[in-house]
Structure 1
Amino acid sequence: MSTDILLDVQNVTRRFGGLVANSDVSVEVRRGEILGLIGPNGAGKSTLFNLIAGAFPPNEGSIRFEGQDIARLSGPARCRLGIARTFQVPRSFDSMSVLDNVMVGAFAKEPGSAAARRVAYETLAFCGLQQRAPAPAGELTPPEKRRLEVARALATKPKLLLLDEVMTGLTPSEARLGVELVRKVRDQGVTVVMVEHVMEIVMPLVDRAVVLNLGKVLAEGKPRDVVRDDAVITAYLGERHRAA
């Protein structure tokens, strides 16, 4: 495997009973890139995302991170190796402070509370939430909760950050701030894989896009090429996109 390939998913299949959610999927993620996973509802994006994160193992195929086979490792074990994720529905500890929520992530790499608190403060500042550090997480607005998810993941000091629809439900101005944050994360040397439905946001942001449909890879490449692909237009974007 090339040294510039951080994550290598090869011929992965995942079944749930009689449903084949992913079928013979192969995806390479290069160091330092922002990769977008897109496709219609039911395409298998969330399943592939969860396979990478360690929510469950594949039935077939391999998942290698920095050359190491991680297909059977748990989510926490993958986190210790350098894979962090957010959730489509934010999962904060609402009765705990924002700072303590991020410290939970920092404890993945920092055994002492003083060091974890320092990392948490630094990460909150990076994500623009430092003023909210003492507030209960339950008081955050929905956009702030999404940033908290990102901050907690970043506090684990990942090499690969998996973002699950972090732009969903944001206003245009909030989405612009979200795009800036993702770019800042990449500028810090963190590779990003993001599942996103808001095409107007994700396509100008990502370096490459992988389109899934019916559990299989339909297309991949640079965003400008993917959106012109006839198969992608037919399966996902629609004929109105072709006309535009």
Structure 2
Amino acid sequence: MSSDVLLETRGVTQRFGGLTANSDVSISIRRGEILGLIGPNGAGKSTLFGAIAGARVPTAGMILFEGRDITRLPAAERCRLGIARTFQVPRSFDSMSVVENVMIGAFVRHANATMARAAAYDTLDFVGLGGRAETSAGQLTPPEKRRLEVARAIATEPKLLLLDEVLTGLTPSEARLGVELVRKVQGRGITVVMVEHVMEIVMQLVERAIVLNLGQLLAEGAPAEIVRNEAVIAAYLGDRHRAA
């Protein structure tokens, strides 16, 4: 494994009974990059995310993080190593305050509650939720809940952050703020992998894209290359994109 590769999957396959969600997927994630993971619904993106995060053990293949085989490590151990994620549907503890939600992530690095709370406040300021710290998480708007998820993940001090559709469903102004936040996260030295469907956002934000289709790796490369790839246009972007 090259020193600039943070995480690598080798031949990752995931079967659910007779369904193959991922088939022999081999990708590399480079340190410090913003990588887009794109493809049509049912392409296997969320399954691959889950395999990297530790939600499930692949049926076959291997996952390496900083050269270490983590294929069978549970999610909590991967988090301690430096892998954090958000979920497509935001998950929060609505009866707890916003800062208490973020403290849950901070406890990965800080056993002391005072230190965890201080780290949580700093993280909320970073994501733009400092003014909502004492609010009940259940009172947040949907875009704020997405930021709360990002804050809780960042509070674990990850090396790799997996973002699952954090910009989907946002207004244009909210999406612009989301793009700025992702770039700020990268500015902290955190590698980012994004699953997104809003191509206008993905193509301006990511440095490299990996395209899955029917569970298999279809293409990878710079955004300008991906949007001109005939196989990607046929499987995902559509003829209207070709005309554009």
TM-score range, shorter chain: over 0.9
1: CA distance, partners of 2:50 / 2:197 = 17
Query: How much has 1:109 moved relative to structure 2?
Result: 1.1
Report SS of the residue matched to 2:21.
strand
The answer to whether 1:153 aligns with 2:153 is yes
Q: TM-score, normalised by structure 2?
A: 1.00
**In the alignment, which residue of structure 2 is the partner of 1:222?**
222
Q: TM-score, normalised by structure 1?
A: 1.00
Q: Gaps (5+ residues) in structure 1?
A: none
Query: How much has 1:200 moved relative to structure 2?
Result: 0.6
**In the alignment, which residue of structure 2 is the partner of 1:211?**
211
Report SS of the residue matched to 2:193.
strand
Report SS of the residue matched to 1:224.
helix
1: CA distance, partners of 2:144 / 2:71 = 33
Could you tell me the percent identity over the aligned residues? 73
2: CA distance, partners of 1:180 / 1:10 = 32
Q: Gaps (5+ residues) in structure 2?
A: none
Amino acid aligned to 2:83 = I
**In the alignment, which residue of structure 2 is the partner of 1:169?**
169
Per-residue displacement from partner, 1:30-68 (whole Å, max 9, x unpaired)?
A: 000000000000000000010000000111111000001
2: CA distance, partners of 1:135 / 1:55 = 30
Report SS of the residue matched to 1:24.
strand
The answer to whether 1:63 aligns with 2:52 is no
Amino acid aligned to 1:46 = S
1: CA distance, partners of 2:205 / 2:39 = 16
Per-residue displacement from partner, 1:110-149 (whole Å, max 9, x unpaired)?
A: 1000110010000000000000000000000000000000
TM alignment of 1:123-202, pairs within 5 A: 123-202=123-202
Query: How much has 1:173 moved relative to structure 2?
Result: 0.2
Query: How much has 1:168 moved relative to structure 2?
Result: 1.1
1: CA distance, partners of 2:107 / 2:16 = 33
Query: How much has 1:90 moved relative to structure 2?
Result: 0.4
Aligned residues: 244
Report SS of the residue matched to 1:56.
coil
Amino acid aligned to 1:137 = A
Query: How much has 1:234 moved relative to structure 2?
Result: 0.3
Query: How much has 1:203 moved relative to structure 2?
Result: 1.1
**In the alignment, which residue of structure 2 is the partner of 1:10?**
10
Query: How much has 1:239 moved relative to structure 2?
Result: 0.4
**In the alignment, which residue of structure 1 is the partner of 2:28?**
28
Question: After the TM superposition, which parts of structure 1 deviate over 3 Å for at least 4 consecutive aligned residues?
Answer: none
2: CA distance, partners of 1:90 / 1:229 = 33
RMSD: 0.4
2: CA distance, partners of 1:56 / 1:108 = 21
2: CA distance, partners of 1:150 / 1:127 = 8
The answer to whether 1:101 aligns with 2:120 is no
Amino acid aligned to 1:193 = V
